[in-house]
Structure formats: structure tokens, C-alpha cells
Amino acid sequence: MTPRKPMIAGNWKLHNTIAQSKELARAIAAHVGQGLACDVVVAPVATSLSAVREAIDGTAVGLSAQNTYWEDSGAFTGELSPLLLLDAGCGYCIVGHSERRQYFGETDAGVRKKVAALLVHKVVPIVCIGESLEQREAGKTLDVVLGQIEAATDGLDAVALAPLVVAYEPIWAIGTGRTAKAEDAQEVHQAIRERLGELKGQSWATSVRILYGGSVKPSNADELLAEPDVDGALVGGASLSAKDFIPIIDAGVRRAES
């Protein structure tokens, strides 16, 4: 049995009205109930956080934001803060998603500040890292990914980082239908865990959950989750329908029980 509780997280990106978010959250909450052997988290758009919070109330489904700023408050028009995310009921926040890095100028330094600010407020960061196709083809995958995780955790020790979740998401696999081979995902996950062990100590590195993201669907979830260092999944497209997301949750439960 894995020493780490698996996690299945759904990133709804810029999708779903409040009504649609509520309906999806209710269907997931009905399946999860008081809790399963794997953690389940959903990340709706900010405008739906409050409705989803109500829909999952009393169940074990966790609520996540998709992004944050690092200051608590101030003259930062358009931003959200860890303090306000906590106030809105978020236990988690995705940080450094490749879409934010690619379209919104998110940098490693900014990711590091966001991670630190979230940890201060006890909101669990789900830190996304991953290489582009060009970088993979140039044999730079590990350099890129290990550099990103090192930067995101720089100056933070294992005590501060305790609840952190890492999501390895090869950019070429996000929303493309192309999934990393399970053994390739395992190779990168193992390298991430080893580097975290060197940097922060083995004990924390053994406990940190490393999710895989990139076109995870019901048909490939079991194979990916069978790898020893793949502790769950961050799911985009397939998290938008309960019909697809629930079987992925069930794959997480099977991993916990294997």
C-alpha cells in the first residue's frame, strides 16, 4: 500500500457558469460523500467558488482556487489573495499552471512567492511544473522540471512545505489528448522526489504527493496511477463531466487500496 493518500484534482479552467459548476460539484460530492480512500479536490472559476462551496458542504470534496496573488490585500486590481481564498473556503490553490506561465507571464520567482504566501495562510499549494515539447525533444525535461520545483520551494524548509502538492504536467500533454507513457511519467516523478529529498530531507520527500497531469481520462488513469511515484492526477478536460471524472476518482481509490 502506498504511504501517500492519492489525490484526484479537477481543474475546471475558464469553464462553467455558476449553475453548471453547482450541478457538477453536486454530482461529485454525491459520489465522494464523507470521504474516500483518495482525496478529491475541485478548482472552479473564482466566480463559482461560493456556489461550489455550498454544493460540497458537509462532504470530503476539497475546494481549490486556480491562482492567487501573494499579497494579502492592497491596490492590486483584479487579484485574489490567499487570505481571501481562505475566507472563500479554499483549502487548496493551483499555482504555476503552464497556461499561466505561457499566457500571463507567471515566473518561477512569482510562483515561489505565491507558494510561500499560501503556506502562511494554510492554503495548500498545488504547484504545477512541466516541460514543453521542444524541451523534451532536446533532452532537457529533467533540467527544466527540477529547476522549476527547486525555484518554487527555494528558501522554504520541509516544515513550512509540509502539505505541498506537486503536479507534473508535461505541457505537450495538456489538452492535446497525448499522454506521457506511464513509465516516462514515473521516471520524472521519481526524479522530482529524489531532488526534493536532497533539498529538503528524505522524510518530507517520501510524504509529498506528486500528481500527474496531461490528458488523464478514465481509460488511462489506472495505468498512470499504478506507477509507484504517481500519487494522483490533476485533470483538466475530463474533470468537466462527472461521467468522466468519477471513474478517475475511482482509479485513485483503487491505487489507495492496491
Q: 139: which residues sit within 8 A by CB, 6+ positions away?
A: none
Cβ–Cβ < 8 Å for 93, 120: no
Q: Contact between 237 and ligand PEP (CB under 6 A)?
A: yes
Residue 169 designated active-site: yes
Pick from 5, 20, 14: which is nearest to 43 by CA?
14
Q: How far is the CB of 214 from ligand PEP (least distance, A)?
A: 5
Q: Contact between 115 and ligand PEP (CB under 6 A)?
A: no
Q: 20: which residues sit within 8 A by CB, 6+ positions away?
A: none
Q: Contact between 6 and ligand PEP (CB under 6 A)?
A: no
Pick from 167, 97, 170: which is nearest to 133 by CA?
170
Kindly state the number of chain residues that form the binding site for ligand PEP, as judged by CB under 6 A.
Answer: 13
Among 76, 102, 122, 175, binds ligand PEP (CB under 6 A): 175
* Catalytic residue chosen out of the listed positions 99, 106, 169, 227: 169
Q: Contact between 244 and ligand PEP (CB under 6 A)?
A: no
Pick between residue 110 and residue 170 the one whose CB is nearest to ligand PEP.
Answer: 170
Q: How far apart are CA 173 and CA 29, in angstroms?
A: 28
User: Mask of contacts with ligand PEP, 186-225, x by CB under 6 A?
Assistant: ---------------------------xxxx---------
Q: Contact between 11 and ligand PEP (CB under 6 A)?
A: yes
Q: Give the Å distances, CA to CA, from 186 to 204, 226, 233.
A: 19, 9, 13
Q: Contact between 80 and ligand PEP (CB under 6 A)?
A: no
Question: Which residues are annotated as catalytic?
Answer: 97, 169
